[in-house]
Amino acid sequence: MAVPREMMETHSDTSPVDLIMGMALGYLVSRSLYVATELGIADLLKDGARRLEELASATGTHQESLYRLLRTLAAHGVFAEESPRRFVLTPAAVLLQDGAMREGVLLCGEVTGDGSWWNAVGALRHSVMTGEAAFHRQQGMGFFDYLGLHPQCHAWFDRGLANFATAENPAIAGAYDFSRFDSIIDLGGGQGGLLAEILKRCPTLRAILFDQPQVVKTPTYLTKEKFGDRWTTVGGDFFQSVPKGGDAYVLKRILHDWSDDQCVRILRCCREAMDTNTRLLVIDAVVPLGNVPHPGKVMDMLMMIFGEGRERTREEFGQLFAQAKLQLATITTTPSPLSILEAIPA
C-alpha cells in the first residue's frame, strides 16, 4: 500500500535509502560536531579561511583525520571547503564560536560531562519498553539527584543551559509585548537572563526573579548598575507557593522537566497567586501534530531518557491548564524552538 504523498513531503528531497542511512549513522555527525566544537575550530576561523595544516597545527590534531572530520561537517553546512584543504566559516559554524552556542553544543554532546549521559542514551530501549527513565536505571537515581551529588557535572550542565538561554532569550523578549505589564515574576528564572532581556526592552517594567534560595543569591545578569531598583529576588519553591502581586508570571523551560501531575501542582500554585487580570506565560516547545519536523520532537526523546518530563502539544498544555483552573488564550511563536503560551484564569 502506497504512503500518501503528504506524509512524505518533509523528506521529499531525500531518497528512502539515504534517509535511513543518514539516520542510522547520525550519531557520527553529532559526534563530529562535538569534536570540532571542543577543538575550537570555529574560533580559529573567525578572521577568515585557513589551510588545513594551520588548523591541525593549532589544535594538535592528525592532519588527515582532521580533514576527514571537517569534510564531513562541510557536507552538512557546518564549515565550507572554499578551495582544496582550505576551510572557512558558514553561518552555522559561527554558532560554534565561544560566546555563541559553543557551550550548548558541548552540553548536547555530553550532558553530564562524565560519560553517564551516553550510558543512559544507550539504554533508550528500556524507556521504550517500560516507560521508565533510562538514566534512573543506569545510575539508580533521578537525573537532578545525580547532578546534586556530582558538582562538576552540575556546573557543566548549568553552563550549557545558560549558553542556550543566551541565544534564546533575545528572541523571546523581542517576540512578545511585555511592556503591557507593570510587573513580571519569572518563576525558576535561574540567573535572570530572560528578565534582563525583557527589562532592557521595557524601561518602566519591574521584575521579581524567583528560584531556589541558593540560585537567586547572586543573579549573574541582573545588576543595580544596569537596572537600578527595578528588580528584586525571592527564594522559594514553586511546588509550594509563588509570590503574589505580579501582572504576569513566566515559566520558561520549566514544565517540560516535570510529569503531568507535577506540572499541575506548579500551575495551581501560579493560579492561587493570580487575580482575574493576571497572565501566565509558559515558554516551552509546542510540539506540532503529524509528520512536521520540530526540535521539540527530538528533545522529547531526551526528556524520556532522563526523567518524567516531556515536550507537549497544544492540546496537552490545554489539559494541564484546565486542571489548574486556567485556560489557554494565545500562542506566540518566536524565532527559536520555543513558543509563548498565554494562559488566563478560567
**Which residues are catalytically annotated?**
256
Integer Cα distance of 146 and 166 in angstroms: 25
User: How far, in whole angstroms, is CA 279 from its chain's centroid?
Assistant: 23
Please report how many Cα atoms fall inside a 13 Å half-sphere around the Cα of residue 48, on the Cβ side.
0
C-alpha cell at 228: 537600578
Answer whether 305's CB lies under 8 Å from 108's CB: no
- Strand, coil or helix: 216: coil
CA distance 342 to 222: 25
- Give the closest residue to 97 by CA, choosing from 163, 149, 148: 163
Grid cell locating 195: 528578565
Pairing of strands 231-235, 183-187: unpaired
Question: Is-contact 192 231, C-beta < 8 A?
Answer: yes
Q: What is the C-alpha separation between 119 and 129, in angstroms, rounded?
A: 17
> What span, in angstroms and rounded, lies between the C-alpha atoms of 284 and 255?
8
CB 193 within 8 A of CB 169: yes
